[in-house]
C-alpha cells in the first residue's frame, strides 16, 4: 500500500465516519432507483414518527487537478445518507440504531458494488453509567477514533494524510472493492462512559468470514483521553490474517493553534515485514477560517506527503475549501504509473452536512 494515488487509498479505506465529528447507489436501473428513492422516503417518514430518530447526510465535492492527469470532480470526503435514532427505555437505558448508505455525488452511483449500506448497520443499547453496546457492522475502534489526528479527517483524498496516520487493513482478505478495509461485520462493539476524560472502545468479531482458508476473528481496542486542551489515543488491532497494528497519537491546543502527532507500527504476516508511519500536523483557527497543514512519512519506503489547506465556514453546516499538496510515492520497481513519482495536486471544493 506504499504506492497508488490518494483516491485509490481512500476507496480501500472507506474513509472515517464524519457524522461523529460534525454538527452532528453498481449503477441503478430506473425501476431499482425509483424503489430506492421510495425506500428513503419511507425511512424519512418513520424518522418523523419517532422523537429521537434523525435522517442525516453529508455531501462533499470538489475540482481536483493532479500532475500527469486532467481536471476532475472528486470527493474531499466520503458522502452518505443515513437514519439513526435513540429510544428511551427504563432508567438511563436507551435503544440505539444507525443505518448508513454511501454514494458518489459526481455520478450518483453506489460507492461500493458489494455493500449498499457501506457506512454502518448497527443496533444496540446505551447507558450513561454502563456505556454503549452495538451489534452489526461498523468502523473498528482504530478507525472510529484516529480521524481526529489528521486535519483532513482521515478522508484519504486531496490533502489528507490518512496513509501516514496509522493506515491499516482491518480485513486483510482479498476484496474486489475493499468494502471492509476499515470496518468489521458480525461484530460486537463496546464504548465505555467517560471517567476523568478516559474512554475505552472495544470490538470483537463473533463469526469469521468464509474465506476458503483458515482465518482469525478480527478484534481491536482503543483507549482515548480528552480533557481541556490535550487529547491522546492508544490503539491495537489484529485482522483476519494476523496482521496487527499499534497506534499512538496526541494533540495539544494553544489558543487558536492545535498541534497533532501520530505514530504507528504494523506487523504484516504474509509479507513478513512491517510498516511504520509518522505524522506531524496542525490547524489554526481564525474566525470563519481554518488553516490546515501537515507532513507524513512511511519509514520503510520513504514515501512522504506535505499538505496545506484553508477551509472557510459559510455557515454552521456549509464550508468551502482549498488544498495544495505534494506526495513522493514509493519506488517499488514494478514500473507502475505511480512508481517513485512526485504527485502535485490542487483542489477546490464545497461540503454540506445535514
For residue 210, what is the domain's CATH number? 2.40.160.10
If one counts every other C-beta atom within 10 angstroms of the C-beta of residue 314, the result is 11
Percent of the chain with pLDDT over 70: 84
Range in 9-13, 114-118, 253-257, 336-340 with the lowest mean pLDDT: 9-13
Burial of 195 (0-12, 13-18, 19+ CB in 10 A): exposed
Q: How confident is the model at residue 38 (pLDDT cuts 50, 70, 90)?
A: very low
Amino acid 210: pLDDT? 81
In a domain, 259, yes or no: yes
In a domain, 88, yes or no: yes
In a domain, 326, yes or no: no
In whole angstroms, how far apart are CA 242 and each of 138, 197, 270? 20, 32, 9
Query: What digits encode the pLDDT tens for the residues 66-103?
Result: 998 999 999 999 999 999 999 999 999 999 999 999 99
Is the alpha carbon torsion for 168, 146, 233, 184 positive or negative?
negative
In a domain, 347, yes or no: no
pLDDT of 109 over the 60 cut:
yes
Nearest Cα residue to 293 out of 279, 306, 312: 306
Amino acid 214: pLDDT? 78
CA distance 299 to 291: 27
Query: What digits encode the pLDDT tens for the residues 301-348?
Result: 999 999 999 999 999 999 999 999 999 998 776 666 667 789 999 999
In a domain, 203, yes or no: yes
In a domain, 126, yes or no: yes
| Residues sharing a CB contact under 8 Å with residue 330, sequence separation 6 or more, in sequence order | 2, 3, 298, 301, 302, 303, 339, 340
Total count of domains within the chain: 1
Amino acid 271: pLDDT? 87
Predicted TM-score (pTM) of this structure: 0.86
What rounded mean pLDDT belongs to the chain?
88
Domain span at residue 121 reads 6-57+76-281
In a domain, 160, yes or no: yes
In a domain, 184, yes or no: yes
If one counts every other C-beta atom within 10 angstroms of the C-beta of residue 217, the result is 16
User: Where do we find the cell 475505552?
Assistant: 200
CA distance 187 to 195: 25
CA distance 83 to 71: 34
Amino acid at each position: 500500500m506504499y504506492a497508488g494515488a490518494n483516491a485509490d487509498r481512500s476507496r480501500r479505506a472507506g474513509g472515517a465516519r464524519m457524522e461523529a465529528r460534525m454538527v452532528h447507489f453498481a449503477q441503478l436501473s430506473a425501476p431499482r432507483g425509483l424503489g430506492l428513492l421510495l425506500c428513503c422516503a419511507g425511512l424519512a417518514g418513520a424518522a418523523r414518527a419517532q422523537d429521537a430518530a434523525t435522517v442525516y447526510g453529508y455531501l462533499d465535492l470538489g475540482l481536483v487537478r493532479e500532475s500527469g492527469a486532467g481536471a476532475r470532480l472528486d470527493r474531499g470526503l466520503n458522502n452518505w445518507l443515513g437514519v439513526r435514532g435513540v429510544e428511551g427505555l427504563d432508567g438511563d437505558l436507551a435503544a440505539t440504531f444507525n443505518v448508513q448508505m454511501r454514494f458518489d455525488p459526481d455520478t450518483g452511483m453506489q460507492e461500493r458494488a458489494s455493500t449498499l449500506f457501506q457506512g454502518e448497520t448497527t443496533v444496540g443499547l446505551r447507558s450513561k453509567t454502563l456505556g454503549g453496546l452495538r451489534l452489526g457492522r461498523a468502523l473498528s475502534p482504530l478507525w472510529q477514533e484516529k480521524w481526529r489526528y489528521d486535519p483532513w479527517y482521515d478522508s484519504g483524498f486531496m490533502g489528507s494524510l490518512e496513509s501516514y496516520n496509522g493506515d491499516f487493513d482491518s480485513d486483510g482478505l482479498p476484496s474486489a472493492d475493499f468494502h471492509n478495509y476499515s470496518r468489521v461485520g458480525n461484530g460486537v462493539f463496546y464504548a465505555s462512559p467517560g471517567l476523568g476524560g478516559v474512554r475505552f472502545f472495544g470490538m470483537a468479531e463473533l463469526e469469521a468470514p468464509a474465506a476458503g482458508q483458515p482465518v482469525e476473528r478480527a478484534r481491536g481496542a482503543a483507549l482515548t483521553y480528552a480533557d481541556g486542551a490535550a487529547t491522546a489515543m492508544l490503539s491495537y488491532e489484529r485482522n483476519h490474517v494476523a496482521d496487527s497494528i499499534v497506534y499512538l497519537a496526541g494533540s495539544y491546543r494553544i489558543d487558536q493553534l492545535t498541534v497533532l502527532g501520530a505514530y504507528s507500527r504494523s506487523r504484516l504476516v504474509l509479507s513478513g515485514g512491517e510498516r511504520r508511519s509518522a505524522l506531524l500536523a496542525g490547524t489554526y483557527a481564525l474566525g470563519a477560517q481554518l488553516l490546515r497543514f501537515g507532513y507524513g512519512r512511511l519509514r520503510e519506503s520513504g514515501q512522504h506527503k506535505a499538505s496545506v489547506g484553508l477551509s472557510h465556514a459559510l455557515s454552521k453546516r456549509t464550508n468551502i475549501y482549498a488544498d495544495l499538496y505534494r506526495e513522493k510515492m514509493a519506488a517499488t520497481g514494478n514500473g507502475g504509473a505511480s512508481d517513485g513519482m512526485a504527485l502535485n495536486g490542487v483542489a477546490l471544493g464545497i461540503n454540506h452536512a445535514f
